[in-house]
Amino acid sequence: MSETITRRFMEAGFTNDLVFKEVLRRNPDILQEILQLCIPGIDAASFTLTESEHEIVVSLENKRVRLDLVSRSEASDIVAGLEMFTYDPNLPMYVRYVRGMLDSELPVGSRAKDLPEQILLIFCTFDPMKGGDPVYRTKLSLDGREDLCYTENWLTIYFSPASIEKAPEQLRPFLKLLKGIQDTSDPLVQKIDEAVRKVKSDGNFRRMAMDQFEKEECIRELTEEKTRKIVEAETRKTVEKDAILKSIRMLLMLGHSEDCIQNLILNNYDISKEEAKKLLYSIKQEQE
């Protein structure tokens, strides 16, 4: 196992997606405390974790992540999804996709009135909206008639470590975690820290996480190699184009005909007849 993979595992904390989900799966009390903290007034004790059958594409590299941290209330018709992000996969569109996936889990034949209320909690290690706020709540309203009540029974709340001092005092220690800062005086933070250590000491989890990190590193390396080849190809094209333009100018100056110049270019460069005509035309326009 490479040093990079080992280091990634050693440094993985609560904001790592794998660690985050495993901690909440194994510790329903922590899950409920986070729900209560982030959604004041909710009956968090009635929520239990369920498993989703869906996968969601969240990046251009088609990296698939299971939508598997879904909690449902036994006391009220509410579904809560929790997600951790250290990068932005176009979050508004991701949230739209998640809402659709959650709705599609209803049994065939269900009616619109059977749709549960949705609450999505999106935790970010960065400012997702770049507005300098620690909490962003979506609002759905009628355009131009915000005074009228309109709801589709869903809510998305984004949390970030930006301007933590603006957040309610009880929420600040949790938001600091998103920034990698542990307020050890906070009981919930203490619970989370202990849970993270227990999860990472589990051999099965370690093997699973290391395998995932290795796959991600392979994808990263392949992506970098692909990007490098694209850049090199574009550079070669630019250099070749400059050489062709220089040749055309020289041949025109020596009095060669357009047909002769075009034939010389086609015989000496990997270029189409149409491209050769365009370049010749551009030089003639330049000299007029």
- Convert the pLDDT of each residue in 197-219 to its tens digit: 999 999 999 998 888 888 887 88
Same domain, 186 and 248: no
* β-strand partners of 135: 159
Last residue of a domain, one of 201, 222, 246: 201
| Claim: this prediction has a pTM higher than 0.85 | no
In a domain, residue 58? The reply is: yes
List pLDDT tens digits, range 8-18.
889 889 999 89
175 and 253 both lie in a single domain: no
Tell me: do 15 and 97 sit in the same domain.
yes
Number of domains forming the structure of the chain? 2
> Do 125 and 258 share a structural domain?
no
Q: How much is the average pLDDT of 35-39?
A: 92
Confidence at residue 288, expressed as pLDDT on a 0 to 100 scale: 65
Q: In terms of pLDDT, which residue wins out, 271 or 109?
A: 271
Same domain, 104 and 247: no
Tokens linked to 175? 């938001």
- Among 201, 217, 248, give the residue marking a domain's end: 201
Collect all residues with Cβ–Cβ distance below 8 Å to 250 and sequence separation of at least 6: none
206 within a domain of the structure (yes/no): no
State the DSSP code for 116.
P
Q: 122 and 158 in contact (C-beta within 8 Å)? A: yes
Question: Do residue 194 and residue 243 come from a single domain?
Answer: no
In a domain, 264, yes or no: yes
Q: How buried is residue 258: exposed, middle or buried, by Cβ count under 10 Å (0-12/13-18/19+)? A: middle
Q: Which residue has the higher pLDDT, 37 or 261?
A: 37
Structure confidence at residue 176 (pLDDT): 95
Residues 170-180 have a mean pLDDT of 94
Domain around 243:
238-287
Residue that terminates a domain, selected from 201, 223, 253: 201
Q: Is residue 231 part of a domain?
A: no
222 within a domain of the structure (yes/no)? no
Instruction: Indicate whether 255 and 151 sit together in one domain.
Output: no
- Whether residues 161 and 271 share a domain: the answer is no
Note whether 195 and 243 are same-domain residues.
no
Task: Report yes or no: 170 and 145 within 8 Å, Cβ to Cβ.
Answer: no
Residue 72: strand pairing partners = 48, 79
| Main-chain phi, psi angles of 261, to 5 degrees | -65, -45
pLDDT at 57: 45
Q: Are residues 115 and 257 located together in one domain of the fold?
A: no
207 inside domain: no
Same domain, 147 and 93: yes
Quick one: 97 exposed, middle or buried, by C-beta within 10 A (0-12, 13-18, 19+)?
A: middle
Residue 118: inside a domain, yes or no? Answer: yes
Strand 154-159 relative to strand 117-124: parallel, antiparallel, unpaired?
A: parallel
Residue 184, domain member (yes or no): yes
